[in-house]
Amino acid sequence: MTKAPIKLVIADDHELFRQGLRSLLLRHRDLQVVGEVETSAALKETLAQNPCDVLLLDLQMDRWLLGEVAELSHLTKVLILTANETIENSVVALRAGARAIVQKRFAVRTLIEAIRAVAEGLVWMPPSLQAEIASQWGNSGLKQLTDREAQIVCYVGLGLRNAEIADRLGIAESTVKTHLNNVFQKVEVRDRVELAMYALRHGLVVNPNPTNEPHQS
């Protein structure tokens, strides 16, 4: 059975950018652009008329939209497109509910990868941003997690699925699920998105094997 295409809305105030991006996205059969918007005032109405799986949002359209990410994230999955290299805005956007940060200078294939990850419920961001975020927070999260749990949280932060985590650690996928259920209760998060943010806040993303001990289930 063929999967339905991922429905996208592009929100950016530069018409040439929107047109170019639409053209590139439509080369992929699993992606479908169902709407475009050039002003923040029209954004919510557009989303109501054209429900989408992922919103490609430029934070700096005709006004600063950072404060509205939380509300928009209740309507659809938000992927931030930005030309801004500073980490602060990215962190605020992620905390507000954005699922991905993609800088406009990146190659289109990177954006496609991020769109597909977000559509599947994952969090995506470039390794450079992961490292910057992790470096600004300590590794206090290690205190309440076992070594194996910290490894799994790291891989969730990197966007890996349970099967991929199991393969990397040489354990059963069911074991990964058991560890994740324990982690959710320990750190009081509701889903993988919140857990990915926890991993970044506590510096768990950059070191999947914190104690260098042999793998164990």
The pLDDT assigned to 168 comes to 86
**pLDDT tens-digit profile of 120-142?**
888 887 777 766 665 554 444 44
pTM of the entire predicted model:
0.68
pLDDT of 69 higher than 50: yes
At residue 119, what are phi and psi to the nearest 5 degrees? -60, -30
**pLDDT tens-digit profile of 34-51?**
999 988 888 888 998 889
Domain boundaries for CATH 1.10.10.10 within the chain: 132-201
Residue with tokens 């070594």: 147
Domain 132-201 has CATH 1.10.10.10: yes
In the predicted model, what is the mean pLDDT of the chain? 81
Is the model more confident about 200 or about 21? 21
Domain boundaries for CATH 3.40.50.2300 within the chain: 6-124
Region 66-90: mean pLDDT is 82
Give 27: exposed, middle or buried? Use CB within 10 Å, 0-12, 13-18, 19+: exposed
Would you say 89 and 64 are in contact if contact means Cβ atoms under 8 Å apart? no
The pLDDT assigned to 216 comes to 41
Taking alpha carbons only, the member of 156, 148, 160 closest to residue 200 is 156
**pLDDT tens-digit profile of 169-213?**
899 999 999 999 999 988 888 888 788 877 776 667 654 444 333
Provide the H-helix boundaries in the chain: 15-25, 43-49, 69-73, 87-96, 108-119, 127-136, 147-157, 162-169, 173-187, 192-201
Assign a CATH topology to domain 6-124. Rossmann fold (3.40.50)
